Amino acid sequence: MAQDVTRRVGAPGRQTVLVTGPTGYIGRAMIAALLQEGYSVRAALRQNINAGSGDVDKQVRPHVVGDIGPTTDWKAALNNVQAVVHLAARVHVMDERAPDPLAEYRRVNTHGTLRLAAMAALSGVRRFVYVSTVKVNGEETAGAPFRESDPPRPCGPYAVSKWEAEQGLLRIAADTGMEIVIARPPLVYGPGVGGNFRAMLKWIQRGIPLPLASIRNQRSLVGLGNLVNLLLLCVFHPAAAGEIFLVADGEDLSTPELIQRMALALDRKPRLFPFPVPLLSASARLLGMNNACDRLCGSLTVDSGKARRLLAWNPPSSVNEELRNTAEWYQRQTSLHPAMS
């Protein structure tokens, strides 16, 4: 697929791409894909680290920009850059202590993003790829999957800050002519994943019985390899300019189906038992775990047909292949660091 991308948009030559959030698991995979295609890559870092240390590939030129916000100086990092892939963000904070969480999300995700985009336009950057979130569409679907044309219904500070950033980016594009591409992924999984997905891997690996067999939902996911493949296509594909794309693997799964697939990838037996969903929800409320329960029990599906039609994109890996890659990474990590298991 990567070779197809190069043929479609022309050889990368000396094109330089600035990647923010380069030490995250999506950032690392994005950088690896860009390097493999022959692009020159710069990494925007909060603090200085050694290139080749494992956090950033030795072929990458690092630029320290400090904290991302409304006053960040991007000038040096943007010099002679043709495209930006903006991955850095303030994501969900489990133990939120900010007196005004929305203001904190806006500072990084909205004002920080628009500061970068405005300076990128002034620096002559041709394309700006922004990784947003499906949460801009909403938290749950009932029947029909989300589409790009649906009215946005962001809920919560994180989603609101991302939606406001999207709106600001489109205004900058209209004012400057810089090409904006917005991707809204659902849950991303793959080597390096954390959060609830990693916790689920741990539960399955340990053989912990899970009361989730009665759940009848549908959720769209996107494997890391599939997401990066689309983002790579968005960097220079002519038809991507000015577009918003929902992205998913193309096979929606219920929570029990996902656990069964994960168990297979881990070479474990899934240990699921039935439990009434209303009681599960009530128990989650008592434990203050409403959000986690909503994700396990609710449905959220997306239609990624637009990317397939407009960009001729097809996910290069199946769900099972992406889960196998994730499981192999997790097993390597737990063998090296037994305390993780």
For residue range 165-216, what is the model confidence (pLDDT) as tens digits? 999 999 999 999 999 999 999 999 999 999 989 999 999 999 999 999 999 9
For residue range 65-116, what is the model confidence (pLDDT) as tens digits? 999 999 999 999 999 999 999 999 998 765 567 788 899 999 999 999 999 9
In a domain, 27, yes or no: yes
In a domain, 229, yes or no: yes
| Residues with Cβ within 8 Å of residue 287, at least 6 apart in sequence | none
Catalytic choice (105, 130, 158, 189): 158
Active site residue 158: yes
In a domain, 152, yes or no: yes
| Residues with Cβ within 8 Å of residue 78, at least 6 apart in sequence | 18, 84, 119, 120, 123, 125
Q: Are 166 and 182 in contact (CB under 8 A)?
A: yes
Looking up residue 120, the CATH number of its domain turns out to be: 3.40.50.720
Q: Residues 288-292: what's their mean pLDDT?
A: 79
What distance in Å separates the CA atoms of residue 47 and residue 66, rounded to the nearest whole number?
A: 6
Q: Are 179 and 314 in contact (CB under 8 A)?
A: no
pLDDT of residue 173: 98
Residue 290 has pLDDT above 60, yes or no: yes
Q: How many separate domains does the chain show? A: 1
Q: Are 299 and 219 in contact (CB under 8 A)?
A: yes
Residue 3 has pLDDT above 50, yes or no: no
160 is in which domain, residue-wise? 2-192+220-251+300-317
Task: Provide the b/e sequence for 168-203 (b: ≥16 CB within 10 Å).
Answer: bbeebbeebebbbbbbbbbbbbbbbbeeebbebbee
